[in-house]
Structure 1
Amino acid sequence: MDSIRSKTQKDTLRLRTPSATDGAKVWDLVRNCKPLDENSMYCNIIQCDHFAETCVVAELNGKMVGWISAYLVPSDPDTLFVWQVAVAPEARGHGVGVRMLKDILDRDVTSDVERLHTTITDDNDASWALFRKFSRISGGDLTSKSHYTKDQHFQDCHSSENLVIIELPEALARAA
């Protein structure tokens, strides 16, 4: 658990590992964070249960205001894939997303992670800003390339997704 004071110093942000009982609240949070893709409530319950060690919930005065779902890539356990980031409107602009990413990467289960992957559409300015900021703050190296395309993967029903790769400082130091 991690308690962090917000910019106003009157509210306490608490970061923690989720449990299966958080799934419905995660589902509600994501539904209220347009334009995020909504998963089923069952999917969010499974994420909170089976992938709890690599996911995080943020609470502000007891209310869930943040969520990151992530997992270690089975074929490459040195890579953390960040599936979804949700921050409630009232908690935006206070570094909650960066704090949640740091929280996951500070855990024992991610101690060998060398890179972070995520996918972002061209028009998702908030996600681009978050991952650029995280890369800058962490000293990582951010690159991106086309990955899941609208025509090849999404049957023209979803915008193309770019694979964003952040090589973390420890991995960069080992490569030097």
Structure 2
Amino acid sequence: MTAAQAQFQLDQPSVADGAAIWRIARDSKVLDLNSSYSYLLWCRDFAATSAVARDETGEVAGFVTGYIRPDRPDTLVVWQIAVDDTHRGHGLAGELLDGLITKVAAGRQVTTVETTITPDNAASQALFLSFARRHAAGVERQVLFDAGLFPDDGHLSEELYRIGPIAPAA
């Protein structure tokens, strides 16, 4: 059992968790912050492909949101993942990813995980490359959305990380 597994309980998010997820995303200062309303909808409509980590008091300590690609039912897209500042450094983000793939794969054939990461986000790159190693999976990278496609100034390109085929965690 890892430190994160001993300290945190992985759970399916509920609508009541939407505000905490929004706050963690906002406070990360790395994620693109969506409206608070969108996090409430996410917790309602995509709870089965998302997860939260709860601390010993039941508060949300971290989250991962995802969905199954409509045109690729074997692909789980990880939309956002973040850990509250007070709970970083325990391997919780990796536990969230591993727990999510285990949960989602239990109900369907998931062989691939996709996510996008900006070139300056070394922490996310390390997180997903480590996930790929733990699951004995290859990683393909390519620019998915060039910076010029974004209407807001200063948004970097989003690089697609396609990880698979996924093997169970060791």
The CA deviation at 1:150 is 0.7
Amino acid across the alignment from 2:132: S
Deviation at 1:43, TM superposition (A): 0.4
**Partner in structure 1 of residue 73 of structure 2:** 77
Query: Root-mean-square deviation (CA), in Å?
Result: 2.0
For the residues of structure 2 that align with 1:56 and 1:150, how far apart are their CA atoms?
29
User: Does 1:55 find its partner at 2:50?
Assistant: yes
Map Cα deviations across residues 32-79 of structure 1 (whole Å, 9 max, x no partner).
111211111110011111000000001122231111110000111110
Q: Could you say which residue in structure 2 is the equivalent of 1:43?
A: 38
Q: Aligned residue for 2:102?
A: 106
Unaligned runs of 5+ in 2: none
Q: Does 1:89 align with 2:85?
A: yes
How many residues are paired up? 165
- Residue type of the partner of 2:75? T
1:110: Cα distance to partner?
5.1
Kept in 2: contact 1:25–1:64 (CA 8 A)? yes
How far apart are the structure 2 equivalents of 1:142 and 1:93?
Answer: 24
Q: RCO greater where, 1 or 2, for CA within 8 Å and sep 6 or more? A: 2
Residues 17 and 60 in structure 2, CA contact (< 8 A), matched pair in contact too: no
The structure with the largest helix share of the pair is 2
Find the counterpart in structure 2 of residue 126 from structure 1.
123
Query: Could you tell me how far 1:103 is from its partner in structure 2?
Result: 1.1
Q: Does 1:23 align with 2:18?
A: yes
Tell me which protein shows more strand as a share of its residues: 1
Equivalent residue for 1:68, pick from 64, 69, 85: 64
Which stretches of structure 1, 4 residues or longer, exceed 6 Å deviation after superposition? none
One-letter amino acid of the counterpart of residue 82, structure 1: V
Q: Say if 1:114 and 1:168, in contact at 8 Å, map to a contact too.
A: yes
CA offsets per residue over residues 103-134 of structure 1, 9 Å max, x none?
A: 11112565301100000000001100100110
Structure 1 gap segments, 5+ residues each:
171-176
Q: Name which of 15, 25, 32 aligns with 2:27.
A: 32
Amino acid at match of 2:21: V
TM-score (norm 2): 0.89
How many Å separate the matches in 2 of 1:74 and 1:117?
13
> Is the 1:54–1:109 contact (alpha carbons within 8 Å) kept by the matching residues of 2?
no
Secondary structure at the aligned position of 2:147 is classed as coil
